[in-house]
Amino acid sequence: MCAGRAHAAPFAESAGWLEPAERVMTSGFSLKGFWASALAAVTGLVGASSVWADTVGQPTDRGIALQPAASQIRLDVISFHNNILLPVITGIVLLVLVLLIVVVVKFNKRSNPTPARWSHNTPVEVAWTVLPVLILMFVAIFSFRLLYEEHDMPKPYMTVKVVGRQWNWDYAYPDQKISAYTSTLMTEADAKTNNVPYQLASNAPLVAPVNQVVRVQVTAEDVIHSFSVPAFGVKIDAIPGRLNQTWFKANRTGTFYGQCSQLCGINHSYMPIEVKVVTQPEFDAWVASKAPKPPVSVATAATTPPAPASAPAAAQ
Residues that bind Cu ion in the complex, under the rule CB under 5 A? 225, 260, 264
Q: H or E segment at 65? A: none
Please identify, using beta-carbon distances, which residue of 274 and 282 lies nearer to Cu ion. 274
E strands present in the chain = 158-165, 168-173, 178-183, 206-209, 214-220, 225-229, 234-238, 244-248, 254-259, 272-278
Cβ neighbours, 10 Å, residue 67? 24
Write down the least CB distance from residue 260 to Cu ion, Å. 3
Task: Provide the minimum distance between the beta carbon of 271 and Cu ion in the complex, in angstroms, as a whole number.
Answer: 5
Q: Tell me whether residue 215 or residue 225 sits nearer to Cu ion (CB atom).
A: 225
Q: How far is the CB of 259 from Cu ion (least distance, A)?
A: 8
For the purposes of burial, counting CB atoms within 10 Å of the CB of 139, is it exposed (0-12), middle (13-18) or buried (19 or more)? middle
Shortest Å, Cβ 53 to Cu ion: 29
Residue 73 or 220 with smaller CB distance to Cu ion:
220
Distance set, CA 156 to CA 94, 172, 226, 248, 272 (Å)? 45, 16, 21, 9, 25
Residue 70 or 260: which CB sits closer to Cu ion?
A: 260
Q: How far apart are CA 264 and CA 297, in angstroms?
A: 47
Residue among 46 and 239 whose Cβ is closer to Cu ion:
239
Q: Min. distance of Cβ 170 from Cu ion in angstroms? A: 13
Give the shortest CB-101-to-Cu ion separation in angstroms. 46
Give the dihedral of Cα atoms 286, 231, 153, 219; nearest 10 deg. 70
List phi, psi (to 5°) of 294: -65, 150
Write the single-letter amino acid at 288. Answer: A
Q: Which is nearer to Cu ion, 83 or 244 (CB)?
A: 244
Asked whether the beta carbons of 256 and 232 are under 8 A apart, the reply is yes
